[in-house]
C-alpha cells in the first residue's frame, strides 16, 4: 500500500510524488467523501483532487482505478 509516509504539502511536489508512487502500482483506490480536504500551497484544488488527476493519465497505460 502506497504511499508510505506523509504527502508533500506543496502542489508541484505532491504531483511529482504521486506520479512516482503510481509508477509502482497496478491498482489505485480513491475514497472520496463529502469534505473537500486539505488544499496544498500553490494550489486551488485539494490533495484528493490533485491525486485523482495525477493518476488519470496512468489509467490509460493499464492502471486500474476504483473510485468510491
Cut 0.85: pTM above it: no
Domain ranges of the chain: 11-67
Mean pLDDT on 7-22: 92
Which pLDDT score, from 0 to 100, does residue 59 have?
Answer: 66
Give tens-digit pLDDT for 27-64.
Answer: 989 888 899 999 999 999 999 999 888 888 776 678 88
Residue that is written with C-alpha cell 503510481 in the block: 22
Main-chain phi, psi angles of 26, to 5 degrees: -115, -15
Contact 52, 28 (CB under 8 A): no
Q: Please, where are the H alpha helices in the chain?
A: 11-22, 47-59
Amino acid at each position: 500500500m502506497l504511499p508510505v509516509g506523509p504527502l508533500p504539502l506543496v502542489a508541484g511536489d505532491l504531483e511529482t510524488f504521486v506520479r512516482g508512487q503510481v509508477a509502482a502500482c497496478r491498482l489505485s483506490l480513491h475514497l472520496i467523501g463529502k469534505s473537500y480536504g486539505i488544499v496544498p500551497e500553490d494550489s486551488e484544488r485539494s490533495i484528493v483532487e490533485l491525486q485523482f488527476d495525477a493518476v488519470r493519465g496512468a489509467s490509460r497505460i493499464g492502471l486500474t482505478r476504483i473510485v468510491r
